[in-house]
Structure 1
């Protein structure tokens, strides 16, 4: 508008009549940006009209209420919960933050550190930030992950597979901008845990975590690493918050009470389509009656999970 970009995104056709933002599994947020002063429904309606094939619906996946206000629903636009996610605000001192954690967490990690000390094992945290360190970081990350349960499912990162090549290239590029960090945690000479992180706009995001599953179950290398990482982040005061951007797990709730719900946005070409979509979803949620009529094929396809995790 007037020579100024107000929105940009990458969208793909997911099924007949439905488009949505491209959402690679490695991305915590959808690939869509817009000027906060612009009306989101107007932007989506304009794009919907421009897409080929007379699309009936356009969806924005994985939106963050921390970054933009969740839009109000209308006759053509609705939103749906995605996941609850957690963050840690890095304000004040680490001591105040740590004293506010649960007694069980603090006591458990203190006992683990005492155990390591008695065994003569020295834990050590290091951070890789240079571009030339990223290939080694991913190789070591892949070695740990490929020895664990993810290897059995075929989802482990390895320097020679597509995931490994992606993370190596991505982190090298971020590191050239001073916006990548790989935390590595050691028990003596044994690498036992690692975090892949990116940074920017006052925020550090943990993308992936792995650990050495051969470590005795009485020790939690990931939690020990997290404690030292968070302490370092509080002390450095480089960032305003630490983001996990994953589905809230039990261990998240021991580190923070700051939990919010991410969401999807769906815009329909006509109000009647949104009403029909809701009707079909309600019918799918109920036992099917023998005499139930079949909805039109296009509307049935729109009812496929666009609004669930």
Structure 2
């Protein structure tokens, strides 16, 4: 196996290598070149590297990496990326790939981290799989498995969820408020759709925390560019939910093969008042996705919240994977982390 390093700005020239690895994995639209290109354009700062590995059988691994300080590298991980940018051919031990990459990186790499790994795409190494490796839980995340019909799925949800949404629909009908779900999937409409999404999010709590999407900020430019690129190949959808003529909730989604990923959700907090616009939207969107009979998975990729557990019991844990130059460094890092956790638990 041989690694070569390029400036990440040359990612487009290596798209064939990248896609050859994606083809052998379960669908993961956030690894599509259009997503990675948009991430680098919006959030890259210049020192990021593209790492490519080949053996006699062809491409066997690839990653986009960013320096983390002296002797430390990790997968490029803006907040807008659900997973760290690492791909590898199934069946190759991650330990051997990471050891070779650490040797190839500039400087003297003491630690190399793969952040936010999905065990569905990169099985978590068992404890003891390598003296130079350690894994760490990141978050639990949820998905909906699209199997059978929607009625069977919906009847399997909790009675409280079904009754609550039914009650809300009756209230809306009694008030004469018509609800409507529409789907935007055309490239030329994505910029305006992201602007609509930004207005929804910008009127809520995320604006107060300074994290809301806005058509004029880096997040807004990223989502507009990325969704437009996906839409050109039929890979983007924005679900919009209306109370009459009032836009009250939106999902921004990307899709590939049998998988759709809900990247962002926003709702009109002023329209809530005992109503749940996002949940009402999700019920109708899920019904449409089941009826479409195309998808096997609806992925959330965010931290599991209480409301996720009302929609699914399919939960798995994303994880970080660290490779260290020496086993002693791995043991030292683990010891320091354990001491830090004990310190916090003791309230000192």
How many angstroms does 1:5 deviate by?
A: 1.3
* 1:12 equivalenced with 2:72 (yes/no): no
Corresponding position of 1:205: 261
- Give, in whole Å, the separation in 1 of the partners of 2:237 and 2:339: 48
Corresponding position of 1:96: 152
Corresponding position of 1:301: none
- Give, in whole Å, the separation in 2 of the partners of 1:41 and 1:187: 53
* 1:224 equivalenced with 2:224 (yes/no): no
Deviations 1:107-140 (A, max 9, x none): 0000000000001111000000010110111111
Aligned length: 288
Corresponding position of 2:81: 27
- Give, in whole Å, the separation in 1 of the partners of 2:341 and 2:124: 25
- Give, in whole Å, the separation in 2 of the partners of 1:134 and 1:283: 48
1:216/1:54 CA distance change after superposition, 3 Å: closer
* 1:279 equivalenced with 2:340 (yes/no): no
- Matched ranges for 1:1-309 at <5 A: 1-2=55-56, 4-72=58-126, 73-287=129-343
- Give, in whole Å, the separation in 1 of the partners of 2:280 and 2:211: 25
| C-alpha contact 2:182 2:239 (8 A) present in aligned 1 | yes
**TM-score between both structures, scaled by the size of structure 1:** 0.91
- Give, in whole Å, the separation in 1 of the partners of 2:269 and 2:139: 27
- Give, in whole Å, the separation in 1 of the partners of 2:137 and 2:272: 38
User: Which secondary structure does the structure 2 equivalent of 1:113 belong to?
Assistant: helix
How many angstroms does 1:282 deviate by?
A: 2.6
Query: Which has the larger helix fraction?
Result: 2
1:218/1:278 CA distance change after superposition, 3 Å: same
**TM-score between both structures, scaled by the size of structure 2:** 0.81
User: Which secondary structure does the structure 1 equivalent of 2:198 belong to?
Assistant: helix
How many angstroms does 1:285 deviate by?
A: 3.1
1:96/1:286 CA distance change after superposition, 3 Å: closer
**Max Rg structure:** 1
Bigger shift: residues 249-258 or 135-144: 135-144
Q: Which has the higher contact order (CA 8 A, sep 6+)?
A: 1
- Give, in whole Å, the separation in 2 of the partners of 1:216 and 1:28: 28
User: Which secondary structure does the structure 1 equivalent of 2:286 belong to?
Assistant: helix
Cα RMSD of the aligned pairs, angstroms, is 1.3
How many angstroms does 1:3 deviate by?
A: 6.7
- Give, in whole Å, the separation in 1 of the partners of 2:267 and 2:149: 28
Corresponding position of 1:293: none
Bigger shift: residues 109-118 or 17-26: 17-26
- Give, in whole Å, the separation in 2 of the partners of 1:203 and 1:285: 37
How many angstroms does 1:152 deviate by?
A: 1.4
How many angstroms does 1:277 deviate by?
A: 1.1
- Give, in whole Å, the separation in 1 of the partners of 2:318 and 2:202: 30
1:216/1:76 CA distance change after superposition, 3 Å: closer
Deviations 1:48-73 (A, max 9, x none): 00111111111101111122311123
- Give, in whole Å, the separation in 1 of the partners of 2:326 and 2:119: 26
Gap regions ≥5 residues in structure 2: 1-54
Structure 1 stretches of 4+ with a deviation exceeding 6 A read none
| C-alpha contact 2:95 2:130 (8 A) present in aligned 1 | no
Deviations 1:249-270 (A, max 9, x none): 0000000011111111111111
How many angstroms does 1:238 deviate by?
A: 1.3
- Give, in whole Å, the separation in 1 of the partners of 2:94 and 2:87: 10
